[in-house]
Structure 1
């Protein structure tokens, strides 16, 4: 996996340091995640990278679906920002409204 061979992991997964006039200064990992990368076996790290990537893709997919659903819900103003919760609740109300409208029209035609 490209992530495993990238410079993001540091020099062969070891400690980070700066050589300046033969003085080596070790830097503490800046995050809990970075500490885990240094201590994590390559197979486990590869699985985590894959899992994180898959979760990112899944979340983007869900967000895309919410975005498409949002376009179908009439609001005023039309570009009003809505939370996911609001999108779902308004979608249910709008669907119920449309069902009622169709039922009313069907009754008039009878």
Structure 2
């Protein structure tokens, strides 16, 4: 009970007055500021612990270089480039001459 009372008192804001009262389990306790004593001094406290930094090796996480969406976009761009190249080649090649519709061939021959 004494420990619980001390913990409760430690968390209650103490007024600057000399007499302070605290409720604990529906009981009112009155004490003076001179009754409070310091239980931990700076010499008794463990402030921090120094430790050396050491690397921690974890399992590497492999990330894809390209996501599925980027791969699909790249494929679409390649197909568009290929179609554009084919159209350029088709424009450069002259079209075949249109065959004549005449049934009789007009052949020139030299007369002897």
TM-score, with normalisation over the residues of structure 2?
0.30
Structure with greater helix share of residues? 1
